[in-house]
Structure 1
Amino acid sequence: MPPKQGSAGKKKLAKADKEKLKAEEEERKALEEEEARQKAEEEAKKQKEREKLEEAERRKLENAEKENRRMEMLALVDVQERNRKMLDDLHSERRKKSKWARYMRCDGSPNPTIPGEINTYINLRLEDSSRDDIEEVLKQGELDLSLINELDFLLEDTPSLEMDLQEMNCFKAVADGKDKFVELLKNTREDLQMLLQNKLDAATVKILQKATDLCDNETFNLHYLKANQDVCLCIWGNLSKNPRIKSFEFKEKGFQFEIPRMLTLSDCAFRILFSKFDHYSSTCKSYYPRQKKKEEPVAEVAEVKEEEAKEGEQKEGEENEGEKGEEGAEKEDTEDLMAMLRQMKGEAPPVEEKQEEVEEKVEEVEEFQDPITPEPPIWEDFDEDEDVVDLRANHVLGGVFHFNLMSLPPQPKIVNDWVITRLVDPPNIEYIEYIADTMNPIVNKEGQSPIQPDKGADQPKRDDRPPITVHMRLPEDCLFTEEPQIARWDEKKKHWRQDGFTDFKYIEETRIFTFKTAYFGTMALLQDAHINMPFQSWELRPHNTNSAVLTIIAAIIEIEIEIKDAMCCLSKPDDKPELEHIKGRWMTPLDLIKTLRRVGINVFPADDSSKYVSIQDKHPVIEEWCYEQMALCSSAYAFSWSKWNSEVQNREKVLFQGAESLDDMPLPEETWSLYLMTKRRSMKLKMTEFDEAFEENHADGTHFKSNLYHLLMEYSSPEAKERIHETNFQYIDCVRQILSATKVLTYA
């Protein structure tokens, strides 16, 4: 039977339908994929356009902020430059008048900057031995010290630009630059210091030569004391040779020393020469900060590497140019071919290219150029032995004193009607070499109590050299806040040493300091230079326009510095009699700084003080900006310390408190606000000093500004703005100098 046609055709139709359905499904999927692709492209295109608009808007805002900051910083710089120019003109005119007044002075004193005058003065003084009596030496010494101080002032006060060729005409023979001019001034200062010491030694010799004429009628020994405001000369001469003399005291100076038995039987004299000045420390290498030098690569190696790098760059450049040339040619050919095809078909160029061509361009605004931040210096460690004094960590306080043992020259003898005197030319001091045999007390094997000698043991011999016990009253015009240290000057190595001293004792009520020394020589009292650092708190409060007071509660002492116009003075503490002679004395900031350091109040950190004091170091540019802008607003605003300044471990952020203060009254706590200053902006924070956590959000109703000055001016009252505008440039500079010298933002 033949097969049925209907069933086979039906099967074939079913297969065709399947293929058709499959084709339709594939076509539908392709259409969906195409629609999805087109939709994704549209979304990507819209997203790209949105991002471009957002980027343009962001850049516009950034440019607006840059422009605003640039305008504000330029306005601030303009204010500062105007003040600085007026200050420079004022000081330049002052120096001109001072030079003219020096030229017209007719008091017989030489000009220390003119070699002919000062050299003639020094040589004549050295050759003239007829005026070596102590009264004349002390009188002439005042002139010598005034000339030394004049040179010091010139070296500190004269800018390097004013040390021009006209000033150096007098140094043509040996000077060929500004450094030579400065060096010659320093050499002149050293010559004057040597002259003063030589004349004091010559006066000592004259006194010793006539010791019998000046001897005491009761003890038959020489007791001599002569003083002026800068120098005090004390001499004890052993004329009687009485072995029962154990010690002697100059009651006027509160200086007592023991006399060993061997010296009571010899022709000797003790000289104690007190001077309020210190001409020794500045010659010591530890007197100046020493910054580590960076190791630079060897020049030859650097040049070789540079040449190799240049050759490599040239080769890479040639290869890249070849590759770029080939790629560029291929790209140009492809673009030309596509353009020809579009012209043949009558198609328009792609829409994306047109959009890229008409894309909006946002011009970049020139940003304010901040000063370059110097790299933080690295200071060298003090590498001398432990007995050598580090003058960066310690200050000489109360000047120096010379404790010398000298040979008593032969005294004049009266024979009948004749007076026979032995003449020595030149008359020089003959020092007796004396070094104690031992400085260590005898102890038992266990190192406990001293061994008591037997009654039958040999007593100390006459030629034994025990250490000399000294009792001295501390200078009345210096504040010692701790037990002083004692040091002696090593003339050969030019430094202070602390070996050779034992048995220290200090009675604070009587201010008597006791020690034993194995050596005679030049000595000085020392105090820790950073004993008052870091500070506990500080506050700068205005009194009125061009008047303010800075209060610093240091580690040990609390002080107040009054500032008015271009001058300042110490107004507190009230309970320190050692400071009464400088309280209320108005002086320039530089003079006040030197005076306070000299009397024992050092609240002025040095460049390398961070090596000795634990502090939160702040960015130097931001810190200096802050002091300058505080000074600009200090007639109307009070500023104070903030605990957050040290707790926020970021040197780029400086925090402090501030408040408008128009009445000369203490401010309540709620009036103070917290301010944050960075290199880019300044803002008034929402948080307060008493919050538990730090939050960097600006206060409600305020916004940040580029600097503190514009921030305070925007939110100040009209009266405060008027005070700030009326503030004198000399007062602004005075406040800035004091703030910059105390570095309260770093050391509090």
Structure 2
Amino acid sequence: MTELVWLDETWWRTERFICLSSKGGPKKKGKLSKAERLRLLKEEEDQRLREKEEARLKAEQIEAEKLEKERLEKEERERLEAKELEHREEELTELDLLLKNKFAVAEEWKSELRAQAKWERYMKCDGSPDPTVLHEINTFISLWREVQNEDIQSVLCKSNLVINLIQELEFLLLDTPSHVLSENEVIQYKGTILDLQALLGNKCNEGTDHLLKSAISFNSIAREAVNEGLQQTKSEIHPEEFAVSLHSLPLQSEQEEVIDDDVVDLRQFTPLGGVYYFDLLKLPPQRKQLKEWSILQLLEGGLQTFPYPMETLQTTTPRYEKEGEIITFPLVGVSFKLPEDVIFFEEPQVARWDPKGKNWRTDYITNKTYYIEDKKISFKMNSFYTFTLFQNAHINMPYLSWELRPEGMNAAMFTITSAFTDFQLEIKDNQCRLNCLSAEGYGSVSHILKNWMTPITLKTALKKAGLNLFPAEDSDKFVSIIKKNNQVEKAAYEQMALLSPCYCFSWSKWNAESGYENVVLKVKEFSKTEYKDDIWLLYMFNGCRAQRLKITESSEIFSDNIPENCEFHSSLFHAVKAHTNDTTVEDIKISHYKFIDCVYQLLESTKVLTYS
């Protein structure tokens, strides 16, 4: 008995029968006819064409919707741009008036301060010369240069005066605008600084020479004290270990070639902690007392250094050694504690002064060891050199983040986060101070912390302490940054300062994606009652137009689209002001020009929009 079984058909409606015999085995499959196969192929082709047409129509619909959306966005953008052009003159006039009321008045105030300081300097009657008056400072230098046999105490006393004169000139060069200080005055002041520094060095040598001529007078020190001091020195140096561990340097050696890599780039590195003059001196002839006469042999040339290694000395060797064998000299070991008022975030780089090349070099300095916990450093040199310690001037750049937040009327807190520490700069009226520094384990800056200063004074103090937050003109050669248009950046800082009494500003990751002509930053209105991180708004500014961005800080891609119900404005100030109330605007207008100028100086000097 044979049974026919119908199987489910596929999507192209293929039909087939399987014949089962009474014996249970399958029989030969039935073949489709040619007409049936053609019918199936036609149905399949028709289905494919229908699907293709549907896909084409859907793609055309999507493209049409996209084009329509772009057309509407373009029309809306053109409408907003046209509206911005209508109000441009009005907005720029208002902004210009505000800038004049703040920055122009601040410049007049600072000009009056400089004039007053100049008058007070003129009326000063303490006998010190005015370093800006050429004939006065030249007379002072000539008169002191002619003084002979001056004791060390007198030299140190006058040295303090010279240091103050140098600092006075350096402050004038930093504080006086370029359009006020002529090029000839700049050259004169810098030349005077060099002359005073040279005079100071010569007088210190003369004072030291005078002191050494009287060295025999110190023999009155008690023998016990001398022995105690020698024992202390001996216990610290350990001569046995010193002699074994030091390498020897041949006396006669070929002069090494000058390697440019050994010269310290003063644009990339900055000296910290002062300059150490490390010399081996010849003891001059001592004063001899003969009855009522005091006899002292005078040598020409003043203070004499002792050459090390000695260039001509040869041994008188025992018989079992070769005569004329060249002596080898041990390297000079130096170990000292780092200054307490300087912070080194990394191991300091030691460099010696090369008087011939007039530069700082790192060669001939070996066996460097830095004790982080004890703040001590030790190293060895092949001779006695003047040396100093260097640190990367851009060690805190680029910044990881920054924030400017109001703290009441004419007060703000400016926080900058670097790879090593957080800097918290407090601003009040025309002064600022380092309010907090999270630099535990690196050092102390108690002499700077919480001391009110002008922005220029604070900048100088921080750099001197190893806390450089102030890029130079060529710092972009040493720091990886997203460079911005200088004019756009300057205009942004001015308008941020105007808004700083009532608005918070912060770093945005999209600033790096916005291009050379644009800056992007986070903005939010300051509230005394609450402080939330999720209400920041993004603004973009290119110097001529400002807008709020539709994207947020957590968006995946950058877009310059503007949100609904927002408009273009001619300035960052007006773009932010458009979403505020009249009370906030009034608070901005009545803020003091000294405070606005102080905020601007810190923003301009730190360049947070470029170096973060």
Same fold (TM over 0.5): yes
Distance in structure 2 (CA, Å) of the matches to 1:499 and 1:559: 35
Q: Which residue of 1 aligns with 2:459?
A: 593
- Which digits, 9 at most, give the CA deviation of each residue in 1:325-361, with x for residues without a partner? xxxxxxxxxxxxxxxxxxxxxxxxxxxxxxxxxxxxx
Gap change, CA 1:161 and 1:624, over 3 Å in 2: closer
Q: Which residue of 1 aligns with 2:338?
A: 474
Gap change, CA 1:158 and 1:384, over 3 Å in 2: farther
Residue 401 in structure 1 maps to residue 276 in structure 2: yes
Gap change, CA 1:487 and 1:621, over 3 Å in 2: same
Q: State the shift of 1:574 in Å.
A: 5.3
Counterpart code for 2:518: K
Gap change, CA 1:530 and 1:61, over 3 Å in 2: closer
Distance in structure 2 (CA, Å) of the matches to 1:148 and 1:384: 33
Distance in structure 2 (CA, Å) of the matches to 1:212 and 1:248: 26
Q: Which residue of 2 aligns with 1:656?
A: 521
Q: Which residue of 1 aligns with 2:194?
A: 190
- Which digits, 9 at most, give the CA deviation of each residue in 1:52-108, with x for residues without a partner? xxxxx9999866533422331232123213323212221221122112111111111
* Secondary structure in 2 matching 1:624: helix
Distance in structure 2 (CA, Å) of the matches to 1:457 and 1:660: 87
Counterpart code for 1:146: N
The 10-residue stretch of structure 1 (716-725 or 733-742) with the greater mean CA deviation from structure 2 = 716-725
Q: State the shift of 1:629 in Å.
A: 0.7
Contact 1:616 1:649 in 2 (8 A): no
Q: Which residue of 2 aligns with 1:627?
A: 493
Pick aligned residue for 1:645 from 475, 491, 511: 511
Pick aligned residue for 2:583 from 719, 723, 731: 719
Counterpart code for 1:592: L
Gap change, CA 1:102 and 1:146, over 3 Å in 2: same
Q: Which runs of 5+ in 2 are unaligned?
A: 1-75, 245-257, 312-319
* Secondary structure in 2 matching 1:405: coil
Residue 104 in structure 1 maps to residue 123 in structure 2: yes
Q: Which residue of 1 aligns with 2:355?
A: 491
Contact 2:412 2:501 in 1 (8 A): yes
Distance in structure 2 (CA, Å) of the matches to 1:649 and 1:634: 23
- Which digits, 9 at most, give the CA deviation of each residue in 1:176-233, with x for residues without a partner? xx4333322222222211121111111111111111222554489899xxxxxxxxxx
* Secondary structure in 2 matching 1:514: strand
Q: Which runs of 5+ in 1 are unaligned?
A: 1-56, 164-177, 224-235, 250-255, 262-382, 438-455
Contact 2:422 2:438 in 1 (8 A): no
- Which digits, 9 at most, give the CA deviation of each residue in 1:15-49, with x for residues without a partner? xxxxxxxxxxxxxxxxxxxxxxxxxxxxxxxxxxx
Gap change, CA 1:435 and 1:727, over 3 Å in 2: farther
* Secondary structure in 2 matching 1:100: helix
Contact 1:658 1:674 in 2 (8 A): yes
Gap change, CA 1:532 and 1:490, over 3 Å in 2: same
Gap change, CA 1:128 and 1:716, over 3 Å in 2: same
Gap change, CA 1:184 and 1:570, over 3 Å in 2: same
Distance in structure 2 (CA, Å) of the matches to 1:395 and 1:601: 11
Q: Which residue of 2 aligns with 1:424?
A: 299
Counterpart code for 1:686: K
Q: Which residue of 2 aligns with 1:691?
A: 555
Pick aligned residue for 1:529 from 393, 399, 403: 393
Distance in structure 2 (CA, Å) of the matches to 1:151 and 1:222: 47
Gap change, CA 1:575 and 1:436, over 3 Å in 2: farther
Q: Which residue of 2 aligns with 1:171?
A: none
Q: Which residue of 2 aligns with 1:94?
A: 113
Contact 1:681 1:705 in 2 (8 A): yes
Contact 2:551 2:558 in 1 (8 A): yes
* Secondary structure in 1 matching 2:433: strand
Q: Which residue of 2 aligns with 1:578?
A: 444
Q: Which residue of 1 aligns with 2:308?
A: 434
Gap change, CA 1:636 and 1:151, over 3 Å in 2: same
1:308-457 matches, cutoff 5 A: 385-414=260-289, 419-424=294-299, 428-435=302-309
Q: State the shift of 1:436 in Å.
A: 8.9
Counterpart code for 1:73: L
Distance in structure 2 (CA, Å) of the matches to 1:505 and 1:743: 36
Counterpart code for 1:692: E
Q: State the shift of 1:121 in Å.
A: 1.5
Contact 1:245 1:259 in 2 (8 A): no
Distance in structure 2 (CA, Å) of the matches to 1:711 and 1:69: 12
Q: Which residue of 2 aligns with 1:504?
A: 368
Counterpart code for 2:480: S
Q: Which residue of 2 aligns with 1:302?
A: none
Contact 1:479 1:578 in 2 (8 A): yes
Contact 1:144 1:196 in 2 (8 A): yes
Q: TM-score, normalised by structure 2?
A: 0.77
Equivalences, count: 511
Question: Which structure's CA Rg is the greater one?
Answer: 1
Gap change, CA 1:386 and 1:91, over 3 Å in 2: same
Q: TM-score, normalised by structure 1?
A: 0.63
Distance in structure 2 (CA, Å) of the matches to 1:200 and 1:222: 30
Counterpart code for 1:507: Y
- Which digits, 9 at most, give the CA deviation of each residue in 1:369-415, with x for residues without a partner? xxxxxxxxxxxxxx971000011111101111100111111223455
- Which digits, 9 at most, give the CA deviation of each residue in 1:674-707, with x for residues without a partner? 2122233212222221122323222333222121
Counterpart code for 2:445: L
Counterpart code for 2:273: G
Pick aligned residue for 2:154 from 136, 140, 147: 136
Q: State the shift of 1:146 in Å.
A: 1.2
Gap change, CA 1:100 and 1:118, over 3 Å in 2: same
Gap change, CA 1:463 and 1:595, over 3 Å in 2: same
Distance in structure 1 (CA, Å) of the matches to 2:534 and 2:222: 74
- Which digits, 9 at most, give the CA deviation of each residue in 1:602-626, with x for residues without a partner? 1111111111111111222221111
Counterpart code for 1:198: N
* Secondary structure in 2 matching 1:403: coil
Gap change, CA 1:64 and 1:220, over 3 Å in 2: closer
Q: Which residue of 1 aligns with 2:183?
A: 179
Contact 2:421 2:439 in 1 (8 A): no
Counterpart code for 1:434: Y
Distance in structure 1 (CA, Å) of the matches to 2:568 and 2:78: 19
Gap change, CA 1:61 and 1:511, over 3 Å in 2: closer
Gap change, CA 1:579 and 1:640, over 3 Å in 2: same
Contact 1:542 1:662 in 2 (8 A): no
* Secondary structure in 2 matching 1:112: coil
Q: Which residue of 2 aligns with 1:151?
A: 169
- Which digits, 9 at most, give the CA deviation of each residue in 1:530-559, with x for residues without a partner? 111111111101001211011111111111
Distance in structure 2 (CA, Å) of the matches to 1:119 and 1:260: 51
Contact 2:351 2:387 in 1 (8 A): yes
Q: State the shift of 1:246 in Å.
A: 6.6
- Which digits, 9 at most, give the CA deviation of each residue in 1:625-679, with x for residues without a partner? 1111110000100011111212x152222111111003176x2122211212223
Gap change, CA 1:435 and 1:628, over 3 Å in 2: farther
Contact 1:659 1:671 in 2 (8 A): yes
Distance in structure 2 (CA, Å) of the matches to 1:58 and 1:101: 59
Distance in structure 2 (CA, Å) of the matches to 1:637 and 1:533: 25
Gap change, CA 1:384 and 1:155, over 3 Å in 2: farther
Counterpart code for 1:211: A
